[in-house]
Amino acid sequence: MIIAIDGPSGAGKSTLGKMLAKRLGLLYLDTGAMYRAAAMAATNAGISLDDQERVVSAVNRAHIELEGEPDNLLVSLDGEDVSATIRTPDAAHAASVVSTISGVRQRMVELQRSIGESAPNGCVLEGRDIGSVVFPNADVKFFLTAKTEARARRRFEEDNAKGRETTYEKTLTEIIERDRRDSTRKDSPLVRADGAIKIDTSDLSLDEVFDIMLRHIEQ
């Protein structure tokens, strides 16, 4: 079984994707983490993110792996654990920039399909283009969304809890900028895929959204 979850940042995709994978015994694949690691491959090599050709060849050479349980996901780049370093706001920005490059997307989509197809019981994948490009024939597709302010508030609270110094206003500005880039890029922009079930999570608790998603999957 393949479950696709797409939507903008802060809509609850990761938390709900992990909850579903655990409940259903499926592999969980955080495709955003792969774009973050891909961006890091380029920056570690000292390549400017504007130099698309060199970014693509660095990403093609990079060895990106995701292992472990949904709550304890280990992301490695060329054998080095980058699970924490890919979570900074700078890494998020860099991921959003490299994800506009078609050559980078091709490599990521290829990897995501092969991981999803080889998962013994199936896979929950979350990202921006899962239902539209990576697995257009997914068994169930969700499009999670929430008001911009609600998403910025959640992201700000998460960052705060992790001890990162930021402000709500800064987080809001970053989210608006990332939404704009992710939705307006030429290759695979963030869209609600055909047949995707849209859920606005602004005023729902996690458990409420989880129940709605489970009901759809059971159907």
The footprint of ligand DC (CB under 6 A) covers 9, 31-32, 35-36, 92, 95-96, 99, 127-129, 178, 182
The CB-of-155 to ligand DC minimum distance in angstroms stands at 9
Listed residue (198, 202, 201, 204) closest to 4, CA to CA = 198
Pick 47 or 95: Cβ nearer ligand DC: 95
The CB-of-128 to ligand DC minimum distance in angstroms stands at 4
Which neighbouring-strand residues pair with 79?
none
> What CA dihedral angle connects 201, 145, 98 and 32, to 10 degrees?
40
Pick 67 or 211: Cβ nearer ligand DC: 67
Pick 78 or 158: Cβ nearer ligand DC: 158
The total number of residues written for the chain in this structure: 219
The CB-of-218 to ligand DC minimum distance in angstroms stands at 26
Pick 8 or 219: Cβ nearer ligand DC: 8
- Rounded to 5 degrees, φ, ψ at 82 are -115, 15
Angstrom distances, CA of residue 37 to CA of 131, 143, 173:
22, 24, 23
The CB-of-101 to ligand DC minimum distance in angstroms stands at 10
